[in-house]
Amino acid sequence: MKDAVIFDVDGTLVDTNYLHAVSWWQAFRQHGHTVPMASVHRAVGMGSDKLLDAVLPADRDRSADDAMRSGHSALYAQYWDRLEAFADAGALLRRCASQGSRVVLASSASATEMGALRRALDADDAIDAIASSADVEESKPAPDLVEVALKTADVGAEQAVFVGDAVWDVRACVRAGVPCVGVLSGGTSRAELMDEGAVAVYADPAELLREFDASVLHRTIA
């Protein structure tokens, strides 16, 4: 029976959420929008189109949206050679692979950005495939990216589990029918993740690795 563990990357495996928040905050400031940093952080994990609508006025001049996205990308790119994976993130991927699970990364990162994330993870030997936003019609919290990851892994929803850090991950998984394990490493609270429907929540990849044999990653699909 085929099985897969699907991982979000930003805030789940690599410590990037606050870097994204700062980069978005600066990009907004460049175009005359002052958005509280907390509001930006809470929207990180959405696709950029939905993030802009979530934190900026509905009656804004939308002709500047592409420039703000480009500004965020340029600002965030300055951190690429300094990205850090969370402790034991690579080991967690290898533990999933060692039990025969297909390991799929599901991310809205561009191809070049994903290259930087993978260098930080240093676990290419455990990664079977990558599902990206280039393959979807609608970004999270729509289920498209999760569904593409399932297709990429060639498994059904009942044969997979997703690991993510944001409410947007959980909402996308609920809509796709895939159980979602939450981690707190992206800055979202345990209560918020559980309230959205996460089946379990761990502090970070290291705790999930320590508790692996008792987790849904092992019990459900091993």
For the chain, strand residue ranges (E) read: 4-7, 102-107, 129-132, 160-164, 180-183, 200-202
Q: Output the six-digit token pair for 22.
A: 């700062």
> Do 73 and 92 share a domain, yes or no?
no
Considering the domain architecture, whether residues 210 and 103 belong to the same structural domain is answered as yes
| Below-50 pLDDT ranges, the chain | 1, 221-222
The CATH number of the domain where 139 resides is what? 3.40.50.1000
Closest CA to 174 of 142, 150, 132: 142
pLDDT at 222: 41
Assess whether 137 and 158 both reside in one domain: yes
**pLDDT (0 to 100) of residue 200:** 97
What is the predicted pLDDT for the residue at 122?
A: 97
Number of structural domains, the chain? 2
> What's the confidence (pLDDT) of residue 2?
55
Same domain? For 32 and 95 the reply is: no
Res 133: pLDDT: 78
Q: What is the pLDDT of residues 189-207, one digit of tens each?
A: 999 999 999 999 999 999 9
Q: Which of 61, 78, 95 is the C-terminal boundary of a domain?
A: 78
In 3D, which of 166, 167, 194, 162 has the Cα closest to residue 181? 162
Q: Which of 25, 52, 78 is the last residue of a domain?
A: 78
64's tokens: 């500047």
Are 204 and 161 part of one and the same domain?
Answer: yes
Indicate if 73 and 91 belong to the same structural domain: no
In this structure, are 8 and 64 located in the same domain?
A: no
Say if residue 173 is in the same domain as residue 215. Answer: yes
**DSSP per-residue codes, 122-152:** T-GGG--EEEEGGG-SS-TTSSHHHHHHHHH
pLDDT of the residue at 219 = 55
Q: Is the previous residue joined to 141 through a cis bond, with omega within 30 degrees of 0?
A: yes
**Shared domain check, 164 and 96:** yes
Residue 144 belongs to domain spanning? 4-15+84-219
Q: What is the pLDDT of residue 89?
A: 98
Residue 127 and residue 177 share a domain:
yes
Q: Of 34, 54, 78, which residue is a domain's last?
A: 78
Residue 1: predicted pLDDT:
46
Q: Are residues 100 and 145 in the same domain?
A: yes
Provide the pLDDT for residue 136.
Answer: 83
Q: Note whether 169 and 201 are same-domain residues.
A: yes
Which of 205, 215, 210 minimizes the C-alpha distance to 121?
A: 205
